[in-house]
A and B are shown apart, each in its own frame.
Chain A
Amino acid sequence: MITCEEFFDEFADYLESQVSVEVRQELELHLSQCRACHVLYDSATKTIRIVSESNSFELPQNIFDPIIDRVMAKLRSDPS
């Protein structure tokens, strides 16, 4: 079985589903037998999931209206 160090070397690609079948099998075998790596994998995928689904920095459209209004007023008065 591969070591934790080797698992970690492939971890970035594994999270992005960019490993070959053979490498994936090795990594999954490791995950099934190593608690520390399993915890790391589980929490990392949850991190990605909640970041992707959290709608962070998603503000209501109209919050920018004052800024846009200000810029447009400036452009209308002096389009150069």
Chain B
Amino acid sequence: MAEGASMSFGREARLELESDSVVVFREAFGSIPNLLRAQSALPRVIAAHAKLEEAVSLRDGAISRIHKERILLSIAADRRDNYWIALDTHVLTSLGVPENHIDNLLNDYEHADLLASDLALLEFCLKLSRDTSSVGLEDVEALRARGFGDEAILEAVVLTALAIYRCTLSVALGSEPDFKPRNSPTKTLRGAAAPPTVVSNTRHKSGRRGPYVPAPYLSPATFKPFAVIQKTHGFIPNFFRAQTLRPDLLRAELEAVGSILLPEDVLTRAQKESILLAVSAANLNSYCVAVHCNMLRGLGLSVDDADQIAVDYRLSQLSEADVALLDFAVKLGTRFSEYSPEDAAKLTSFGFTREQILEGAVVTALNNFANTLQMGLGIEPDFEPPSIFEKHKVNPSGGTTTLMRREAVVQVVETSQDADAELVAQAQCGTLAAFEELVRRHSRLIYRALIAILGDAADAQDAMQDTLLSAFKHIAGFQGRSKFSTWLVSIARNAALERLRGRRNTESLDQSDTEEDCKFRPRQIAAWQENPEQSHSRTEIRQLVEKGLLQLPAKYRVIVMLRDVEQLSTDDVARQLGLSVPAVKTRLLRGRLMLREWLSPYLAASCRGAGQ
């Protein structure tokens, strides 16, 4: 790349030549690659990359080192990535692969005299690298039929993800090749004819079942990286659980994720999670969208704001600078053939430093690594993705990366399904009778929402009055983004929360979970009656449950009420309360177990009578 055409990424910064990670690269590639020098401003991202290379590409595994290098070279050639073509060619040559074989691989791998099984593996990786959504269980089964075992399949997917990580970085950093490329692809400009990685909407399959390789149980007690991720994420995403067949790969990935995403010295966590969310959304990867929506929620973003980034970040509450950062990341991550150094240069005008832009590029590369790996292994979601995002995804409006504007989406979402719609329209025009009918219809729902938070009947009845007045005042602003009953219940919750906050000795809902919450262990271990419903009348059981629920601290009571009494999904509970799903899960378990402890003396096998 021409000097001065854009910005350089701290090329002048000195690398710590003897650091472990630099040594890894020097030994693997014969010298220190320029791509690495370009990242010298952030040694921790170099260390992350080194971990991945060491575990994934640089050693023999179920797939041999030479086979891996062949796959990496072929993916680089397929993407017209001159940087990696040159470096991988050099590595293959140094491993003793004859030059004419490398030429054949570069020009026409189908006629490179590969064994049928090697060709099948290579084509699987190419298919995954071109369009992550095109790979399904049938492709994995085809590899099994060729004799590949689960470990080889897992390695192939992770290797392909690494190739995408490498190529995303080389596009972003625009480093000069370390060696003169030896073949025709050198004539092609980087990315000139490369297929975009963005998935085509029509081929997205949402109904397939994964994961494709078995995942033995791995305990956070014995596998420390899981304990760490549980602490940082609040749970262990299926993304990691699906790879337990190979703890070595998992360890490297978790270390890389830790050193790229957790530090806040350059970009903030929220900025990085926004990149992951926006690029995953542009890649139509619902798994990653759901994870990063939740992470952002855990970082304090409102549900609506997080959803908005997934649907169309340009219409979100983000600052102009953060929108520009996402423009950069989405283009780099999904339309790399259109990417130019000016895209990075533009960010400096928004005040981003070189280190920040570099980290943005690395996070984008990591995102594409994760998107590829998730689709390649068919990893099942931990949470439901935002319904608005899903609606959009299955009803694409045209171009591969054109996201629907939110306003357009929300209108399709729910109005037609809401039985209250007509009355709502009348009430919005000021018809009091219509409003009255609506609130009579939903009064019990409102009451349950109120008692759940307030835990006191008299208080709940007072709050009901506030709720109805507030609903009337605001009904004109109801836009049908949710069902009317959902909206009404959220008004009730706000009224209740306001009241709760006004109380002395506030029982807070927002209070974060302490170590003690997570470590709660049950004490009562007496066995329960076989069938408590038979030894107690319905009324007795109901009174016991109500008493038990009311003695729970508010932050647990609300969640148990919404999940078990009102039967909302965990995801909806999180949405309603503006909490992350992991936080809801932790409190739900704790609340259920506290209730169990409270009920135990009445329902234990040794106790026959009704609750006193």
Q: Which residues from B are CB-within-8-Å of A56? A: 542, 545-546, 549, 565
Docked pose: A11 CA to B589 CA in angstroms: 8
User: Is the Cβ of B525 less than 8 Å from the Cβ of A36?
Assistant: yes
User: Is the Cβ of B215 less than 8 Å from the Cβ of A59?
Assistant: no
Docked pose: A2 CA to B452 CA in angstroms: 37
Residue on B with the closest CB to A40? B522
Q: Which of B10-18, B322-330, B492-500, B590-598 touches A?
A: B590-598
User: Is the Cβ of A75 less than 8 Å from the Cβ of B541?
Assistant: no
Q: Which residues from A are CB-within-8-Å of B382? A: 18
Interface string of A47-67 (1 = CB under 8 A from B): 110111111111101001101
Residue on A with the closest CB to B600? A43
Known: A26-B217, A67-B465. A46 touches B444 (CB 8 A): no
Q: Which residues from B are CB-within-8-Å of A46? A: 528, 532, 603
State the total of A-B contacts with C-beta under 8 angstroms: 138
User: Is the Cβ of A64 less than 8 Å from the Cβ of B596?
Assistant: no
User: Is the Cβ of A51 less than 8 Å from the Cβ of B560?
Assistant: yes
Q: Which residues from B are CB-within-8-Å of A50? A: 532-533, 541, 545, 599
Residue on A with the closest CB to B448? A57
Residue on A with the closest CB to B443? A64
User: Is the Cβ of A47 less than 8 Å from the Cβ of B596?
Assistant: yes
Shortest distance in angstroms between A29's beta carbon and chain B's nearest beta carbon? 10
* Residue B570 CB within 8 A of the other chain: yes
User: Is the Cβ of A64 less than 8 Å from the Cβ of B585?
Assistant: no
User: Is the Cβ of A68 less than 8 Å from the Cβ of B439?
Assistant: yes
Docked pose: A51 CA to B600 CA in angstroms: 14
> Which residues A1-56 have CB closer than 8 A to chain B?
2-3, 5-6, 8-9, 11-13, 15-16, 18, 20, 22-23, 26, 36, 39-40, 42-44, 46-48, 50-56
Task: Determine which of B241, B586, B589 lies in contact with A15 in the assembled complex, contact meaning CB atoms within 8 Å.
Answer: B589
Docked pose: A12 CA to B533 CA in angstroms: 24
* Residue B412 CB within 8 A of the other chain: no
* Residue B220 CB within 8 A of the other chain: yes
User: Is the Cβ of A48 less than 8 Å from the Cβ of B564?
Assistant: yes
Known: A40-B522, A48-B564, A64-B443. A16 touches B585 (CB 8 A): yes
Shortest distance in angstroms between A13's beta carbon and chain B's nearest beta carbon? 7
* Residue B567 CB within 8 A of the other chain: yes
> Which residues B547-598 have CB closer than 8 A to chain A?
549, 560, 564-565, 567, 570, 585-586, 588-589, 592-593, 595-596
User: Is the Cβ of B542 less than 8 Å from the Cβ of A22?
Assistant: no
User: Is the Cβ of A22 less than 8 Å from the Cβ of B221?
Assistant: no
Docked pose: A47 CA to B71 CA in angstroms: 54
Docked pose: A74 CA to B439 CA in angstroms: 15
Known: A15-B589, A68-B440. A52 touches B567 (CB 8 A): yes
Known: A23-B217, A39-B527, A56-B542. A68 touches B596 (CB 8 A): no
Q: Which residues from B are CB-within-8-Å of A43? A: 524, 527-528, 596, 599-600, 603
Shortest distance in angstroms between B611's beta carbon and chain A's nearest beta carbon? 12
* Residue B202 CB within 8 A of the other chain: no
User: Is the Cβ of B564 less than 8 Å from the Cβ of A52?
Assistant: yes
Shortest distance in angstroms between B124's beta carbon and chain A's nearest beta carbon? 23
User: Is the Cβ of A40 less than 8 Å from the Cβ of B525?
Assistant: yes
Q: Which residues from A are CB-within-8-Å of B61? A: none
User: Is the Cβ of A64 less than 8 Å from the Cβ of B464?
Assistant: yes
Known: A54-B542, A61-B444. A42 touches B528 (CB 8 A): yes
Known: A2-B217, A8-B521, A42-B527. A54 touches B541 (CB 8 A): yes
Shortest distance in angstroms between A79's beta carbon and chain B's nearest beta carbon? 7
Docked pose: A65 CA to B440 CA in angstroms: 8
> Which residues B190-239 have CB closer than 8 A to chain A?
211, 214-217, 219-221, 230, 238
Residue on A with the closest CB to B452? A57
Interface string of B505-525 (1 = CB under 8 A from A): 000000000000000011011
* Residue B148 CB within 8 A of the other chain: no
> Which residues B268-302 have CB closer than 8 A to chain A?
none
Known: A13-B585, A15-B592, A67-B464. A47 touches B599 (CB 8 A): yes
User: Is the Cβ of A57 less than 8 Å from the Cβ of B589?
Assistant: no
Docked pose: A74 CA to B436 CA in angstroms: 12
> Which residues B157-213 have CB closer than 8 A to chain A?
211
User: Is the Cβ of A12 less than 8 Å from the Cβ of B525?
Assistant: no
User: Is the Cβ of B592 less than 8 Å from the Cβ of A22?
Assistant: no
* Residue B432 CB within 8 A of the other chain: yes
Shortest distance in angstroms between A59's beta carbon and chain B's nearest beta carbon? 6
Docked pose: A36 CA to B523 CA in angstroms: 10
Task: Determine which of A2, A36, A39, A51 lies in contact with B545 in the assembled complex, contact meaning CB atoms within 8 Å.
Answer: A51
Docked pose: A75 CA to B461 CA in angstroms: 18
Known: A22-B214, A52-B565. A44 touches B596 (CB 8 A): yes
Beyond known contacts A51-B560, A55-B542, A68-B443: 15 more, CB 8 A cutoff: A5-B221, A18-B382, A22-B216, A43-B524, A44-B593, A46-B603, A47-B595, A47-B596, A50-B532, A52-B567, A56-B549, A67-B465, A76-B432, A79-B430, A79-B432
21 residue pairs from A and B, CB less than 8 Å apart: A3-B219, A3-B221, A15-B589, A16-B570, A20-B211, A20-B238, A20-B380, A22-B216, A23-B241, A40-B522, A48-B592, A50-B545, A50-B599, A51-B560, A51-B564, A54-B542, A54-B545, A57-B448, A64-B443, A67-B464, A71-B468
B contacts, CB < 8 Å to A: 211, 214-217, 219-221, 230, 238, 241-242, 380, 382, 430, 432, 435-436, 439-440, 443-444, 447-448, 451-452, 461, 464-465, 468-469, 472, 521-522, 524-528, 532-533, 538, 541-542, 545-546, 549, 560, 564-565, 567, 570, 585-586, 588-589, 592-593, 595-596, 599-600, 603
In the A-B complex, the 4 residue pairs with the smallest Cβ-Cβ separation, listed nearest first, are A12-B589, A64-B443, A47-B596, A54-B545
